[in-house]
Structure 1
Amino acid sequence: MATKTVKRALSAGAVGAATLSALLLPASPALAQPVIIPGVGAFEVPDQIQLPAGIPGVPESIPVQLPAIPGVELPGAPAPAAPQAGPRQRVVDAAMSRLGDPYVYGAAGPNAFDCSGLVQWSYAQAGISLPRTSYEQLSTGAPISEDQLEPGDVVSFYGGSHSGIYVGDGNVVHASTSGQPVKVAPISSMPFAGARRI
């Protein structure tokens, strides 16, 4: 009698082990796709995971959905959304798009500018309204020191009679004077009068 019990236990154990191995060691994966991790290497990742066949209510395979990971190339994964430029970056981009446009006293764009006209027009492209003259622009927004400058800040020179937009790396984009197009220049090339964060 003990021998029959042992044989039944062994048979049940063998069936259980076979079932467990079928669950844990599925059939070979469907087509694999490479995942490239910079500095690490490429890895094959299956498109699907095969599940044991014949189990009621359980599909034969499930698709693999890989999340988007910055810096990791995943075939078939949607491209990450491009970062949206904030208003200050839109101001800088607008001003930089006018490089080479002529200086015309009293002009406020879109094809010719004086200094405050360029600043006003660039801010308008980001949906921000600014006063028209450089003196008024020097009194708008919050005052900041030269060492606090960030791209998009309004920078004033010559006691407030000239304005431009800080673009980073110690430079300002501005419509300087008659005969000179809109250009980028070092802040240190003009006497700094103040800066404003809008």
Structure 2
Amino acid sequence: MLYTIYADRILSNAWVLQQDGTFKEKDRNDLDQENDYVFSSEEAAQEWLSTKEELLVNGKMVEVDKLIYGPEDISFYVQAHRLEKPKQAYPTKEELATLILNGNDSEHNSLVIDFDGKAHLIPLKGRMPNSLTGYAVRFETFGAENGYVGTEKSLNHLDHTYQCLLEGWLDHLVYGSTSYRDYSENEFTVEELLKQIENEINKYN
């Protein structure tokens, strides 16, 4: 995986950080390794951003931590770019069921898929869900003491959760970026999603 820094105007323009420190307008998810400022890890890109208070984008100085209120506001984010096939095509429903059953309901848990295509249930232990970086997909957090993990009854949401994970994983494979899911669009069946996922994976060397 490689990473770039984008300045983004919601549903409109996007600019990517160049090696000379400027931002160039271009299509989202389009990687130009010769000219884009490319990072080898998400942490390195986030660290670069953390050292900046303002950046010049489209002729204006923009606060890096600016709160976004309207369609003209610009925000900064780290964009992931996939260059090769994941080690695992997708997590199976059986693997997801095992994760859920083995979860600790006394803690908040975040369900994620890593860039290799493997699902993980991560106890937050005082961390905020959005502090989890370095994953292709992050599902809505399972709140502690709500019965979402740890018992057979927890599997009541298995089908819905698996559908959401596959939708997020497909989004990642198509667009390269990380994906957050808290609901299912149900545009495709699980079987259709798996077929699309396999088609996307076959596009990589």
TM-score normalised according to structure 1 size = 0.24
Greater RCO (CA < 8 Å, at least 6 residues apart): 2
Look at both structures and tell me which one has the larger radius of gyration over its CA atoms.
1
